[in-house]
A and B are shown apart, each in its own frame.
Chain A
């Protein structure tokens, strides 16, 4: 049988052999296509298998709604990750608030304002920003951003007796790095959304006497809203999941996410503690992974709904 499938090149194979090789090929392709499904299912399964035991040992409320994080303490360790969750939520929100306006304005520049030649210069810059490895953002964050933050911190908290100095590794530093990292995503999605807006809408608005800026902000952007929102949701996913770039600039202790506090994100807690964690501590780190995973899945579902909604509209 095998010999026959090889001889397919000669074109003289029997009907049965041909049907066999056709079927074989089809099944191979089917298997390849199912790999993605298997991967997603096993990732889900393993995240739940590894992430849930700590809930039974420590207690759901003790983990999710307590704020004290002393996982390595010999006596009475506590595993409250509320501050870590809040940090991820606050950090992502702030990064979005900073990165999204910048991204949309840049997209407007590329599509509506810039002469073609200028746009041809800015567009590659956006693409390259997306391609730079996250560790390099982290490296520049430590070398450039944190010293500035430290100076600022020293000025602001000069007379404070309660403030713990962080050396500049704080929430703001992490937020700035995250905002820069989501920028390309927001720009690219907004550009394609704005390009998809019907030219007639623009012409009509201009003909009615609106200025170009009025047209952009009152007609074009609202019309491109759903595409831009998709970009923002993608950006949220990216910011929530980023680990290495912010692991060193966000500080090293768990605190309430205030601008100048040293904080731990869901991701950075895993990165910085996994290497030495053992026993229950390690299990709780997997629980943190599970919390992050659930966040990401929710975002993915929102995204799918949005894309489906968009397809229905058009």
Chain B
């Protein structure tokens, strides 16, 4: 009989290593989440989330950082989404294969490979100094726009590619202009993909630190009133990750772990949301 394969001891060793690697990865993740929760969960309280750190009052809180984070997310996405989606539409719907497309796609790829600290340096000297915006939430947001642009462009492109060619021809054949067709047919069809890109971009902003340290600064106070909230764009403001970094540099590990818990929860939510969207996307594709 030949169905009995020769047992090779080396095979067993390799199986062992393969399983060990997978187990290591899972344990690593569980360990990270577990340890952060263990150290940080007791720090997180209503006062911690809604208060502001003040030496005078002896309070610690991250409300200011939460506001700054949301501020940068909104500003960045407001600018980056139209540009990123527009770029994807141009590449997919208008451009004919040629030099320009190659250059744009190459640039997008390079942009996604540049480390965040380089973005930080560039943002600091270009938006901060040349455009005289200084250390401000706007400088940080503009820097983040460049960083998340490839993410949005690529996700939108993928989504546009899944829209059947017949939809386009049908719309054009019925007398629609191209722009009308894009607005009423393509964009709604590609919406799940666009939203996925936006959510991934938000995740990137929430986790970003090096690029924001040099551009958005580190202030942690809450804006006082609505007008100050609006003018906040031109003032320095540190996001949650920046505050985490500063806290751990100063050895305030309790605060650092408290913020880490908040960040982990956000990251988990974002991961969950993209999963949900991906599922919905799949259903759409089959119809």
Residues of A within 8 A of B90 (CB): 26, 29-30, 32-33
B113 contacts A36, C-beta separation under 8 Å: no
Residues of B within 8 A of A30 (CB): 90, 94
- The answer, yes or no, to whether A267 is at the interface (CB within 8 Å) is yes
CA distance in complex: A105, B109 (Å): 28
CA distance in complex: A184, B49 (Å): 31
Residues of A within 8 A of B115 (CB): 237-238, 240-243, 267, 292, 296
Given known contacts A244-B209, A271-B117, A36 and B149 CB-to-CB distance under 8 angstroms:
yes
Identify which of A28, A125, A144 contacts B26 (C-beta below 8 A).
A125
Residues of A within 8 A of B20 (CB): 105
Residues of A within 8 A of B39 (CB): 143
Residues of B within 8 A of A244 (CB): 209-210, 213, 241, 245
Q: Give a binary string over B144-165; 1 marks a CB under 8 Å from any A CB, 0 the rest.
A: 0010011001000000000000
Number of residue pairs A-B, CB distance < 8 angstroms: 244
A39 contacts B245, C-beta separation under 8 Å: no
Q: Which of B87, B149, B153, B213 has the most CB of A within 10 A?
A: B87
The stretch of A63-71, A79-87, A126-134, A256-264 in contact with B is A126-134
Question: Closest Cβ of chain B: how far from A162's Cβ, in Å?
Answer: 29
A22 contacts B179, C-beta separation under 8 Å: yes
Q: Give a binary string over A230-261; 1 marks a CB under 8 Å from any B CB, 0 the rest.
A: 00001001101111100010000000000000
Q: Using CB atoms and an 8 Å cutoff, list the residues of chain A in contact with chain B.
A: 8, 18, 21-22, 25-26, 28-37, 39-43, 46-47, 50, 101-102, 105-106, 108-110, 113-114, 118, 121-122, 124-129, 131-136, 138-140, 142-144, 180, 183, 187, 209, 211-214, 216-217, 234, 237-238, 240-244, 248, 267, 270-271, 274, 286, 289, 292-293, 296-297, 299-300, 303-304
Which 9 pairs from chain A and chain B are nearest by CB? A241-B115, A32-B86, A133-B207, A105-B21, A29-B90, A25-B179, A33-B90, A109-B22, A33-B87
